[in-house]
Amino acid sequence: MNFSTLDFAIFIGYCVLIIAVGIWVSREKKGHIKNSTDYFLASKSLPWWAIGASLIASNISAEQFIGMSGSGFAIGLGIASYEFMAAATLIIVAKFFLPIYIKEGIFTMPQFLKLRYDDRIRTSLAIFWIMLYIFVNLTTVLYLSALALSVVFDVSTMWAIVGLAVVAVSYSIYGGLKAVAWTDVIQVVFLIMGGLVTTFLALDAVSGGQGPIKGMGMLLEGVPEKFDMILSEENPFYKDLPGMTVLFGGMWIANISYWGFNQYIVQRALAAKSLKEVQWGLVFAAFLKLLIPLVVVIPGIAAFALNAEISRYDEAYPWLLNTLVPTGLKGLAFAALMAAALSSLSSMMNSTATIFTMDIYKAHLKPEANEKQLVIVGRLVSLTAIIIAVLVAEPLLGGEEQIFQFIQKYTGYVSPGIVVLFVFGLFWKRATSNAALATAIASVPFSIIIDQVFPTMPFLDQMGLVFLLLSTLMIVYSLYENKSRGIMPANPIQYERSLFRTDMIFNVASFAIVLTLAAIYIIFW
């Protein structure tokens, strides 16, 4: 990629800005010592717009820019179902899940499992999530983002990994979630602005310089097959997006697991000023989700229409940056890519630290730990997690050709089990601790067995089938313990229906989002 001095200046200036803002917002008032609520939940002070921006910044990373643009090149707009269905999922999470989380006053998702079931479930899932964040999430974001950095700066991938880690560490470890969330507000602006620049130029190129609106029209006319939201069985990519399952099957499992029960996503919601603020924040994030395909999918389709000379699908977005984006704007577009990476890295580091500190250290290693010790442990764990990820990222992922798809599939092995644990824990009072433990243990084996028995079944359909099997296990085992052994849940969640009432702003905004989604699927069926 041909970077000019101006491009380098813009990119480096962006990194300096993020570090400076992160350190500045991390300051505490004179005489106030940062406690665990300050560090892990940003003093519960985040307004709705910061929550929404931080959610999107943490969610969108190099995988989306590079991986989804590549899928846009190969599959088309259908891959945007992951984003569109996420918008609908955010509304469900805001209305039905978060009121219970906030009422219970939890710090972490494993803590909720302890309240609902027992400490065995809490500890098992805490260890699982820590390993997942370090060896899957952190390493993937580091490696994919470093690949792009290494090309621009002409350095080895390892040095690019180290550079990314240093920038993320420099502001996030000291300030905690407050630094992460407030820098995310800036990063989501760069992410969307920089991404839209690339989209604008790609569509303009499609139209031969007649503007992006004309270019969009020419895309619709020239490659209509790339705008099918629901793929037919004859489509070569049907296994990735199996028709109606996108709307009524396994994609719901993936989205609900990610947006409803994922620590580094939910943690921002738990840091809100109030329940109303968090619900508005999630609706704001849902609106932003409707824009994301314009930033990460449409460029891939444009690259296809422009007959991009690439050897693999994931090269579509870098090809656009190198071929179409001019001096100066190239630095802005690349800053958007790095904004996505840095926000995800800092979020995952903070959430790893939160789970270890509250669910392992305070719960088992040192229950009497004071607030100062909890913050110190949180910082040390954040640093340790990123160091481990730096050391293993290239050896672990360097030989993988389809990193995004690989991670999606094997992370999906546990998603059905997590959804069953939380959904039944939240809304079915008869679910027992032993049934929950059996479900947690069975999740991966069930997924592997279904994959082996039905190897040609689309993965989203496999997830849906595993969810049904695990739900059956949870129900049958719980009812057996209820009736035959007289065992009833020790801590069923108690709530009134009034807890799920939402205000008019939330209801109107939610209706507008659902109406927009319905229109998209009807138009591009």
SS (H, E, C) 435-491: HHHHHHHHHHHHHHHHHHHCCCCCHHHHHHHHHHHHHHHHHHHHHHHHHCCCCCCCC
Q: Which residues pair with 272 in a beta bridge?
A: 46
Question: Is residue 85 located within the same domain as residue 171?
Answer: yes
Rounded to whole angstroms, the Cα distance separating 299 from 66 reads 10
What per-residue confidence (pLDDT) applies to 153? Answer: 72
Residues 6+ apart with CB under 8 A from 360: 123, 126, 127, 130
Residue 61 belongs to a domain: yes
What per-residue confidence (pLDDT) applies to 144? Answer: 78
Question: Is residue 381 located within the same domain as residue 276?
Answer: yes
What per-residue confidence (pLDDT) applies to 357? Answer: 93
Question: Is residue 367 located within the same domain as residue 291?
Answer: yes
Question: Is residue 513 located within the same domain as residue 474?
Answer: no
Rounded to whole angstroms, the Cα distance separating 276 from 67 reads 35
Asked if 379 and 169 touch (Cβ cutoff 8 Å), the reply is no
Q: How many CB atoms lie within 10 A of CB 70?
A: 26
246: which 2 tokens? 């996108």
Residue 359 belongs to a domain: yes
Question: Is residue 351 located within the same domain as residue 424?
Answer: no
Question: Is residue 434 located within the same domain as residue 483?
Answer: yes
Rounded to whole angstroms, the Cα distance separating 193 from 335 reads 10
Q: What is the pTM of this model?
A: 0.89
Q: How many CB atoms lie within 10 A of CB 525?
A: 9
* Dihedral sign, Cα of residue 31, residue 35, residue 37, residue 42: positive
Question: Is residue 279 located within the same domain as residue 183?
Answer: yes
* Dihedral sign, Cα of residue 495, residue 497, residue 498, residue 501: positive
Residue 18 belongs to a domain: no
**What is the domain count for the chain?**
2
Residue 263 belongs to a domain: yes
Residue 408 belongs to a domain: no
Rounded to whole angstroms, the Cα distance separating 230 from 243 reads 5
What per-residue confidence (pLDDT) applies to 30? Answer: 72
Q: How many residues belong to the chain?
A: 525
Question: Is residue 297 located within the same domain as residue 335?
Answer: yes
What per-residue confidence (pLDDT) applies to 1? Answer: 58
3-state secondary structure of 431: coil
Question: Is residue 399 located within the same domain as residue 310?
Answer: yes
CA 32 to chain centre: 33
Amino acid code (one letter) for 276: K
Q: Which residues pair with 46 in a beta bridge?
A: 272
Phi, psi of 46 (to 5 degrees): -75, 130
Rounded to whole angstroms, the Cα distance separating 329 from 194 reads 8
What per-residue confidence (pLDDT) applies to 449? Answer: 94
Residue 140 belongs to a domain: yes
Residue 323 belongs to a domain: yes
Tell me the residue range of the domain where 168 lies.
43-403+502-524
Nearest to 231 by CA among 395, 28, 32, 71: 71
Question: Is residue 441 located within the same domain as residue 509?
Answer: no
Cα angle, residue 25 at apex, residues 19 and 30 outer, rounded to 5°: 130
Question: Is residue 97 located within the same domain as residue 161?
Answer: yes
Asked if 246 and 84 touch (Cβ cutoff 8 Å), the reply is no
CATH number for the domain that contains residue 358: 1.20.1730.10
What per-residue confidence (pLDDT) applies to 60? Answer: 81
Q: What is the pLDDT along the chain (525 residues), one digit of tens a residue?
A: 577 888 888 888 888 888 888 888 877 777 667 788 888 887 788 899 989 988 888 888 766 777 788 888 888 898 899 899 999 999 999 999 999 998 888 888 999 999 999 899 999 999 988 998 898 888 888 887 887 777 667 778 888 889 889 988 887 888 788 888 888 888 888 888 878 888 999 999 999 889 999 999 999 998 998 998 888 888 888 887 888 888 888 889 989 998 999 888 888 888 888 899 999 999 999 999 999 999 889 999 999 999 888 877 877 888 888 788 888 777 877 777 777 788 888 888 988 999 999 999 998 999 998 988 998 999 999 999 999 999 988 887 665 544 555 566 667 788 899 999 999 999 998 999 999 999 999 998 999 999 899 988 888 899 999 999 999 999 999 999 988 877 777 677 788 878 888 999 999 999 999 999 999 999 888
Q: Where does residue 189 rank: exposed (0-12), middle (13-18), buried (19+ CB within 10 A)?
A: middle
* Dihedral sign, Cα of residue 334, residue 342, residue 132, residue 297: negative
Rounded to whole angstroms, the Cα distance separating 81 from 77 reads 8
Rounded to whole angstroms, the Cα distance separating 55 from 158 reads 28
Q: Integer distance in angstroms from the first to the last C-alpha of the chain?
A: 37
What per-residue confidence (pLDDT) applies to 346? Answer: 86
Question: Is residue 342 located within the same domain as residue 483?
Answer: no
Residues 6+ apart with CB under 8 A from 413: 443, 444, 447, 448
Residue 11 belongs to a domain: no
